[in-house]
Amino acid sequence: MKSFTNLIEDVQKPGLCHRCGGCVTFCSAVNFGALELDAEGKPRYADEDKCIECGLCYTICPEIDELNEETRQKLGWSPPIGRVIETVLARATDRAIRAKATDGGVVTALLAHLLKSGRIDGAIVTRQVGPFQREPFLALTEDDIRKAAGFSFETSHGMKRFSDYYLTYSQFREFHPLIQKGLHRVAFVGTPCQIRAVRRMQILNIIPADSIKYCLGLFCSGNFVFGEKQRDKLAEIGGFQWSDVSKVNIKTDLIVHLNSGATKHVMLDELEFMKRFACYFCPDYSAEYADLSFGGIGAEDGWTTVITRTPVGRAVMADARPKAIEVSRQEKQPGAASKALKQIRTWSARKSKVAAKNRKSLGQKFPDLQK
């Protein structure tokens, strides 16, 4: 049975740790207390003597392939981008949500609807805590959910300022208050690597993943470090001042909306200097293991592309129409959903190809690296 020591050797040392926090979350949830997150959000031993070497921290890591087949079978995964029941372009019916949202506000609208209808007791999201900062947050009210709407360029979902550094923290840290409050019906919004860790915990039927009833995944080109130096360089590349920015969005490129109404576009290839190292090896663009996946790619401004992947996700979408969300009608945007799905498949294939190439190169330095 492999332990956290093996996780250090197989994942951390090659630079593959996404800092999702799943390993620490499980260890803390069962009160082993062997692991903790360091100041930069990286898992480490808190007290190695408390480790019982159960191996579960190793198995649930999204970089470890031990549960891939079981996870895919449970979710009905199929190539090339996982199960796709339906693809639609949608937006929130509530104009106040749309006004604050980056795209169509569908994630916020669905969470608010689930909470109001009594289907969830809370949602793990992120909230804004500064001009360029967001942090993970357990939303327990509709007002909490609404305030969390909007875009954060730091797509690892959780950024908190400490001294002169911008540090990343995982959504998983919000499992602790979830457990303390005894919540058993929670929606989880996360990036592909975070969703994968949740699914592995669910496959093993270990706490606290049994409390997660809905997994809402976000399209992800990569997690970006967004410190002062990175911001300055990005402004230089894009030719704008941050004081003039009203909103930032990512679709097929980075879109910077200015207070004047003008927009600046930065190609994603120009953001490589900001990308976290582990993201160069991640093949999942469209959150393939989620119940529902969301993003702006393929959608017009003010709309969200939504992929329904599981019966659970289909039920959520069906119940929310037309009370909380509206779906673009075919006659208004003929073929738009199919075009969006085609774009998603293209971007997914590109990310997967780059990840495989980079992993092969990394394997030359670390021969035991999992393929």
Supply the pLDDT for residue 236: 92
pTM for the model? 0.88
In a domain, 264, yes or no: no
Q: Where is average pLDDT lowest: 41-55, 67-81, 264-278, 325-339? A: 325-339
Chain segment 25-77, per-residue pLDDT in tens: 888 877 788 998 887 778 999 999 999 999 999 999 999 999 999 999 999 99
Of the candidates 103, 105, 161, the one whose C-alpha atom is nearest the C-alpha of residue 131 is 161
Supply the pLDDT for residue 168: 34
In a domain, 297, yes or no: yes
Supply the pLDDT for residue 123: 92
Answer yes or no: is pLDDT of 203 > 90.
yes
In a domain, 236, yes or no: no
Mean pLDDT of the chain: 86
Q: Where is average pLDDT lowest: 98-102, 166-170, 288-292, 358-362? A: 166-170
Q: Where is average pLDDT lowest: 19-28, 144-153, 270-279? A: 144-153
Mapped onto helix, strand or coil, the DSSP state of residue 118 is: coil
In a domain, 119, yes or no: yes
Mapped onto helix, strand or coil, the DSSP state of residue 251 is: coil
Most confident by average pLDDT, 29-38, 237-246, 339-348: 339-348
Residue 75: count other Cβ atoms within 10 Å of its Cβ.
Answer: 20
* Host domain of residue 29: 4-225+275-365
Give the Cα separation of 330 and 345 in Å (integer). Answer: 21
Supply the pLDDT for residue 161: 27
Q: Based on the structure, what is the number of domains in the chain?
A: 1
